């Protein structure tokens, strides 16, 4: 059996978050992000979502707008990785909703609410989490 791939999001204010790659959701997206690691970016906030530009260019793959708390997605128009931890300005319920369709490829392991500590413009680093 193939071992589970995980990535680490390293933040200045919220510490380290582990993200499990969802191999079967959007495999092209998962592989493209994995192969681009490591990279650094700056946090942007939109409601209870942290998003940031990454060095990946992809089209939509099994796109969705309604997402779950803890979902990690790729947003093609701005080449961004998005991490949803609560309501966004587009939400119509307590669940997060993306601005426009995204490719969900990962899930945060642990308490995603720590991302409330992240500040706009904060430096972020994403790398492979080696067991």
CATH code: domain of residue 58: 2.40.100.20
Instruction: Note the pLDDT of residue 130.
Output: 83
Contact 33/26 with Cβ under 8 angstroms?
no
Q: How many domains does the chain have?
A: 1
Residue found by looking up tokens 């720590």 in the block: 114
Residue range(s) defining the domain that contains residue 67: 6-128
Q: Does residue 1 fall inside a structural domain? A: no
Residue found by looking up tokens 């500590």 in the block: 117
Q: Does residue 47 fall inside a structural domain? A: yes
Q: Label residue 1 by pLDDT band (50, 70, 90).
A: very low
Q: Does residue 102 fall inside a structural domain? A: yes
Mean pLDDT of 32-43: 98
Q: Does residue 85 fall inside a structural domain? A: yes
* Residue 131 clears pLDDT 90, i.e. is over it: no
Helix intervals (H) in the chain = 27-36
> How far apart are the C-alpha atoms of 18 and 94, rounded to whole Å?
24
- pTM for the whole structure: 0.96
pLDDT in tens, 52-83: 999 999 999 999 999 999 999 999 999 999 99
């Amino acid at each position: 059996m193939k071992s589970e791939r995980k990535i680490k999001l390293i933040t200045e204010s919220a510490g380290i978050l582990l993200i499990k790659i969802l191999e079967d959701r959007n495999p092209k997206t998962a592989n493209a992000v994995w192969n681009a690691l490591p990279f650094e970016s700056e946090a942007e906030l939109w409601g209870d979502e942290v998003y940031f530009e990454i060095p990946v260019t992809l089209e939509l793959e099994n796109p969705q707008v309604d997402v779950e708390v803890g979902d990690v997605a790729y947003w093609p128009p701005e080449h961004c990785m998005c991490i949803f931890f609560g309501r966004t300005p587009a939400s119509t319920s307590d669940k997060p909703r993306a601005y426009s369709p995204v490719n969900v490829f990962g899930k945060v392991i642990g308490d995603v609410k720590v991302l409330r500590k992240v500040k706009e413009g904060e430096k972020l680093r994403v790398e492979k989490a080696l067991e």
